[in-house]
Amino acid sequence: MNHRAIVPVQLALTLAFATSLRSEAQTTGAPPQPRPRVTFEAQTLPDNPTEERILAVLDDVFRNQRRGSMSVPPEDGRILRVLAESIGAKHVVEVGTSVGYSALWMTLALVRTGGRLTTYEIDPGRAARARENFARAGVSNIVTLVEGDAHQTITQLKEPVDMVFLDADKEGYIDYLQKLLPLVRPGGLIVAHNMTERMADPRYVTAITTNPALETIFINMTGSGIGITLKKR
Ligand SMILES: C[S@@+](CC[C@H](N)C(=O)[O-])C[C@H]1O[C@@H](n2cnc3c(N)ncnc32)[C@H](O)[C@@H]1O
C-alpha cells in the first residue's frame, strides 16, 4: 500500500469505528464510551524462580553477548518458547547454537514440559560461551551441546524429536531437513529461521511447501522470517 492510500483508509476506519459507537449507543441508550487504550506489547513475566533465573541470563546475553552472535531477536525467542511448550515438546533439536540465546528461550518451555534440548554448534568459542550460559541459567542438565559440523553429527541422533529449530548455514537446511524429518514425530514441528527472500535457500522452501505430508506457514515475514512446518499426523 502506498502512503497516499493510507490516509483514506485511516479515515474510513475512523468513520466505521465512530459509526459502530453511535449504533451501540443507539441500542443501549448509553453515551458512547471511549475504548481503553492498550499497547500490543508483551513480555515474558516470570512466575517462578527457575523462569526468573533463565530470563536474567537471557537479558544478560542480549545486552552483552549479542555482538557477532547472530542470535534471534527476543520476539522470535518467545515464539520458539510458545511453540515448544504448546506441543508439550519432550525433545527439541536445534542446529546452530551460537552462544545459546535461542536455546535458552526454548529451555523456558522444556523446564515445564519435562523435556530436553540437543543443540549443535560448529564454532568452539561460541559453544564454550553457550555452555557457560546454560550453566548460569541452571539448565545444563536438560541441554546437550554437540560440537562439530552438524551435517555429520546429527546423523548420530536416533531418538524421536518433537521440534527442530534450524538456524545454522542456510544452504544446509535442505540436508538437515532430509536427515531430521524421519525422526520428527507425527504432529511435530520443523521451525526454520531467516525465511526471507534474501536469506532462504529456495530448495528448502520448495521442500517444505510441496510435500503433501507437511503443512507450512510463514510468519514474521516483515522481520526475520520464520517457517513453521507441521509434520501431519
Ligand atoms: C545464526 S547463528 C545461531 C543463533 C542462535 N540460534 C541464537 O539465536 O542464539 C548460526 C550458528 O550456526 C553455526 N553453524 C554454522 N554452520 C554450522 C554447521 N555446519 N554445524 C553446526 N553449526 C553451524 C554458526 O557457527 C553459528 O554460531
**Do 54 and 19 fall within a single domain?**
no
Binding pocket residue ranges, ligand 1, CB within 6 Å: 70-72, 96, 98, 101-102, 120-123, 126, 149-151, 167-169, 172
User: Atom 1, ligand 1: which residue's CA is nearest?
Assistant: 70
**Do 57 and 30 fall within a single domain?**
no
**Do 33 and 141 fall within a single domain?**
no
CA gap 222, 129 in Å, rounded: 30
**Which atom of ligand 1 is nearest to 96's Cα?**
12
Specify the DSSP class assigned to residue 92: E
What pTM does this model have? Answer: 0.88
Q: Give residue-wise pLDDT tens across range 140-194.
A: 999 999 999 999 999 999 999 999 999 999 999 999 999 999 999 999 999 999 9
Q: How many domains does the chain have?
A: 2
Instruction: For residue 213, give the nearest of 192, 179, 182, 191 by alpha carbon.
Output: 182
Cα separation values, 54 from 51, 58, 64, 192, Å? 5, 6, 15, 23
**Do 16 and 58 fall within a single domain?**
no
**Do 130 and 197 fall within a single domain?**
yes
**Do 21 and 125 fall within a single domain?**
no
Cell numbers at residue 157, please?
541422533
Q: Give residue-wise pLDDT tens across range 189-217.
A: 999 999 999 999 999 999 999 999 999 99
**Which atom of ligand 1 is nearest to 76's Cα?**
8
Structural domain includes residue 12: yes
